[in-house]
Amino acid sequence: MSDEIADLVIIGSGPAGMAAACEARSAGLSVVVLDEQQAIGGQIYRRVETAPSSLLEILGKDYTAGQKLIAEFRSSGARCIAGATVWNVTTEGVVNYVTDGHADEISGRFVLLASGAMERPFPIQGWTLPGVMGAGAGQIMLKGAGAVPAEPVILAGCGPLLYLLAWQYIRAGVKIAAVVDTTKRSALFSALRHFVGAVKGWRDLLKGIKLIAAIRRHGVPIYSGATDLAITGIVRAEGIDFKIAGKPQHVAASLVLLHQGVVPNTQLSWSTGAKHRWDDQQLCWQPETDANGRLGDSVIYVAGDSRGIVGANASAVQGRLAALAMARQLGHADTAARVRRLLASLQRYTHVRPFLDTLYRPQQKNRIPDDDVLVCRCEEVTAGQIRKYVELGCKGPNQTKAFGRCGMGPCQGRLCGLTVTEVIAQKREVDPSEVGYYRIRPPIKPILLGTFAE
């Protein structure tokens, strides 16, 4: 084990982590960045450094834009450790990680969690069948491997990433059997409450509108306002059933990509014992931080989508603001003017968020499923079983363990946690904040026993 000490250890090399590293380096801090992926860039800029030009062409401007930040990062003098999976962070700034089967440790005067987002679980009938994946997963195969579906594919759900992937697939020549859009017809009206913000964020809105127009222009069938989604098939996905205005519909395909937004990847912040609050607008847990992203009075900060979904540009700005806050504490910088400029751009990038959150609020039934739907994929626990636990006195996710193995499989509750919270809250008729979440303990990633053998 090494006992290296840096001013700042950053977990995650997405926009938030890279921007924080650049800013901290400008202020004179020593910086080490860890990421479990081999290539830097995070989710949005995955492999942008080495992507062939044909792929850049398909993925579009917002992807290629990442090259600028990566270039700044590469010349910043931050040390980058790739393929490093962090499994423990202490409130004193010790970070434990594994690279290629070796356990290692590094300490930071400060630690920044910039672990990003994951796709929101989409628990519907049949979602565990081979041939059902997240739309983000489909995009990861495109960015990471240049791989696209060979046969017609169905994209179902809602949210910017779903339409973006449809547009990217069209450019890549993929045949899309249907886009099954779960955005409610009435959602636009409630979203217009946030009209002012939406107008200020018109650039982002316009992008979305252009995407959907392009998808239509290419003759992809779009089913709007779809409800009652269920994947069909016994051992493989064969298609999707749904209803439009109450009328049953079916589309066949061997690959169905589901998506209903992204949620913060909070495993690390939970594991440090930090407080989290339920965000009713984004329907997810967010770590409680101060304005700069600091967790309580610890040395840990959080920035980017792992703090609350804000998108790539705002994530980068949050990373910079957090870095400046740390630099101030280390006595390194006069930052006031810089902070003012960054705060202004943060505002500009987040204007459109409340509008998007309302418009693409995932349907209740796709978050809090019927009794027969599997919620915990690992241990195969259904929503009905969880409701039974509640009848027997189970008050929150932590206690489901006393009744069954829900949330105790290898994914450590990542893919069922939000659903379990909401199912219990609905059954108990209380707010999710009262129900709580699993108590997450390190190791937050599985470690093979041999890792510590030396």
Partner 1 sequence: MTISFEGKNLEVPAGISVASALLAGGARDFRSSIVGNAPRAPYCMMGVCFECLLEIDGVPARQSCLITVRDGMKIKQQLGAPELEDINAGVNHE
- Binding site residues, ligand FAD, CB under 6 A: 11-17, 34-37, 42-44, 62, 84-86, 114-119, 136, 139-140, 161, 164, 262, 265, 268, 304-306, 311-312, 315, 445
Q: Of these partners, ligand FAD, partner 1, none, which one is at the site of residue 161 (CB under 5 to 8 Å by kind)?
A: ligand FAD
- The 8-class DSSP code of residue 449 comes to G
Closest separation in Å from C-beta 178 to partner 1: 20
Which residues, 6+ apart, have CB-to-CB distance to 270 below 8 Å? 276, 285, 287, 437, 438, 439, 440
How many CA within 13 A on the CB side of residue 22?
19
Closest separation in Å from C-beta 432 to partner 1: 18
Angle CA(139)–CA(140)–CA(143) in degrees, nearest 5?
A: 85
Q: Of these partners, ligand FAD, partner 1, none, which one is at the site of residue 235 (CB under 5 to 8 Å by kind)?
A: partner 1
Closest separation in Å from C-beta 80 to ligand FAD: 11
Closest separation in Å from C-beta 224 to partner 1: 26
Closest separation in Å from C-beta 365 to ligand FAD: 23
How far is Cα 190 from Cα 283, in angstroms, rounded to an integer?
16
How far is Cα 98 from Cα 81, in angstroms, rounded to an integer?
11
Q: Of these partners, ligand FAD, partner 1, none, which one is at the site of residue 269 (CB under 5 to 8 Å by kind)?
A: none
Q: Of these partners, ligand FAD, partner 1, none, which one is at the site of residue 304 (CB under 5 to 8 Å by kind)?
A: ligand FAD
Based on CB atoms, which residue is closest to partner 1, 131 or 287?
131
Query: Three-state SS for 274?
Result: coil
Amino acid at 219: G
254: Cα separation from own chain's centroid? 26
Based on CB atoms, which residue is closest to partner 1, 173 or 246?
173
Based on CB atoms, which residue is closest to partner 1, 200 or 445?
445
Q: What is the residue-wise DSSP string for 360-398?
A: TPPPGGGTS--TTSEEETTTTEEHHHHHHHHHTT--SHH
Closest separation in Å from C-beta 451 to partner 1: 10
Residues that bind partner 1 (CB under 8 A): 36-38, 43, 50, 85, 118-119, 128-134, 136-137, 140-141, 144-147, 235-236, 265, 271, 377-380, 398, 401, 407-415, 438-449
Q: Of these partners, partner 1, ligand FAD, none, which one is at the site of residue 449 (CB under 5 to 8 Å by kind)?
A: partner 1
* Cα dihedral 210, 215, 216, 217 sign: positive
Q: Of these partners, ligand FAD, partner 1, none, which one is at the site of residue 296 (CB under 5 to 8 Å by kind)?
A: none
Q: Which of 268, 288, 337 is nearest to 86 (CA)?
A: 268
In degrees and rounded to multiples of 5, residue 399 shows phi and psi of -85, -15
Closest separation in Å from C-beta 192 to partner 1: 33
Based on CB atoms, which residue is closest to ligand FAD, 115 or 182?
115
Amino acid at 298: S
Q: Of these partners, partner 1, ligand FAD, none, which one is at the site of residue 357 (CB under 5 to 8 Å by kind)?
A: none
Based on CB atoms, which residue is closest to partner 1, 25 or 143?
143
Based on CB atoms, which residue is closest to ligand FAD, 205 or 424?
205
Based on CB atoms, which residue is closest to ligand FAD, 4 or 238?
4
Based on CB atoms, which residue is closest to partner 1, 6 or 180?
180
Query: Three-state SS for 415?
Result: coil
Structural contact between residues 339 and 293, judged by C-beta atoms closer than 8 angstroms: no
Structural contact between residues 95 and 34, judged by C-beta atoms closer than 8 angstroms: yes
- The 8-class DSSP code of residue 297 comes to T
Based on CB atoms, which residue is closest to partner 1, 28 or 446?
446
Q: Of these partners, ligand FAD, partner 1, none, which one is at the site of residue 425 (CB under 5 to 8 Å by kind)?
A: none
Question: What's the residue count for the chain?
Answer: 454
Helices (H), 149-280: 160-171, 187-191, 195-200, 202-217, 267-271
SS3 percent helix, strand, coil of the chain, rounded to 5, is 40, 25, 40
Q: Of these partners, ligand FAD, partner 1, none, which one is at the site of residue 141 (CB under 5 to 8 Å by kind)?
A: partner 1
Closest separation in Å from C-beta 337 to partner 1: 38
Q: Which of 60, 32, 63, 34 is nearest to 49 (CA)?
A: 63
Closest separation in Å from C-beta 68 to partner 1: 23
Based on CB atoms, which residue is closest to partner 1, 237 or 325?
237
Closest separation in Å from C-beta 89 to partner 1: 14
